[in-house]
């Protein structure tokens, strides 16, 4: 049997533990991210984005990218970087500057819920070259296969690499050229890859991407 002294010691230690526990602040719960409001996203998209990117994210103008089915995380990142000038584009800077973080998230999740319309390649000779580069890269220049990051069917990888499937060839050419020439600077990885491509190879990859599905 425990002595009275031992029992008193145990009681004192227990009380101390309770006191310490009571005075120790509970760890803060992680901040909750509000769920996207698709209704608000649709309304904001219609007011701000639809004129250039199409009512359902399927732009009919080759200069403006298709946004339907694009990964929402990628879209939010681009809008944030247009707003902060990390991705330079005067037109998009003006639109993005009017959007809050919630607006961006709502738009991104709404437009990604829309089905992308397929595109098509136009040049048989170029598309064959584009397929070789997209699927196998260019070994002697250490150009990696596009499929490694953007997946064989162009679906991309959520939160990492954007969807490319069916994108307008003209838009893809413009972006690859901008990456190569250092005009677009918000992806060092793409700057390094595009720097190794000539105009014909860029056009070929873009044409192949347009027909991916």
pLDDT value, residue 124: 87
Q: Is residue 138 part of a domain?
A: yes
Domain around 128:
124-211
Mean pLDDT, residues 61-79 taken together: 97
Number of domains observed in the structure of the chain: 2
Mean pLDDT, residues 150-167 taken together: 95
Residue 32: is its pLDDT beyond 70?
no
pLDDT-based confidence at residue 125 (cuts at 50, 70, 90): confident
CA gap 68, 19 in Å, rounded: 57
CA gap 167, 188 in Å, rounded: 21
The residue with greater pLDDT, 66 or 17, is 66
Mean pLDDT, residues 98-127 taken together: 95
Question: Could you give phi then psi for residue 35, rounded to 5 degrees?
Answer: -70, 145
Q: Is residue 13 part of a domain?
A: no
CA gap 113, 105 in Å, rounded: 13
pTM assigned to the model? 0.83
172 & 139 share domain: yes
Query: Of 112, 136, 166, which marks where a domain is finished?
Result: 112
Burial 36-63 (b: 16+ CB within 10 A, else e): bbeeebbebbeebbbebbbebbbbeebe
pLDDT value, residue 134: 98
């Amino acid at each position: 049997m425990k002595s009275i002294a031992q029992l008193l010691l145990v009681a004192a230690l227990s009380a101390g533990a309770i006191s310490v526990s009571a005075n120790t602040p509970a760890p803060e719960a992680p901040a909750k991210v509000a769920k996207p409001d698709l209704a608000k996203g649709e309304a904001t998209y219609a007011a701000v984005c639809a004129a250039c990117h199409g009512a359902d994210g399927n732009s009919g103008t080759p200069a403006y990218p298709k946004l339907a089915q694009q990964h929402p995380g990628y879209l939010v990142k681009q809008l944030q970087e247009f707003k902060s000038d990390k991705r330079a584009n005067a037109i998009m800077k003006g639109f993005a500057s009017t959007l809050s973080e919630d607006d961006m998230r709502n738009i991104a999740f709404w437009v990604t819920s829309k089905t992308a319309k397929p595109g098509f390649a136009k040049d048989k000779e170029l598309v064959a070259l584009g397929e070789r580069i997209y699927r196998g890269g260019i070994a002697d220049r250490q150009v990696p296969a596009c499929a490694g990051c953007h997946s064989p069917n162009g679906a991309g990888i959520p939160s990492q690499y954007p969807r490319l499937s069916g994108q307008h060839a003209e838009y893809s050419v413009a972006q690859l050229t901008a990456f190569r020439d250092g005009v677009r600077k918000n992806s060092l990885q793409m700057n390094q890859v595009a720097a190794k491509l000539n105009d014909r190879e860029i056009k070929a990859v873009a044409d192949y991407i347009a027909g991916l599905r």
